[in-house]
Amino acid sequence: MNKLTAAAICLVRISPEVTFTNVCTQSKAFLSWTSKAENDADAADKVRRYQHRPAEELFDTQADRFEWTNLANDPKYAQIKANLKSQLTAWMKSQGDLGMQTELAAREHQWRRKKRNKKP
- Entry pTM: 0.71
Residue 118 pLDDT more than 80? Answer: no
Residue 90 pLDDT more than 80? Answer: yes
Nearest partner of 50 among 62, 28, 71, 67, judged by Cα: 67
Residue pLDDT, tens place only, 12-30:
888 889 899 889 999 999 9
Percent of the chain exceeding pLDDT 90 equals 56
Q: Which helix (H) or strand (E) holds 55?
A: none
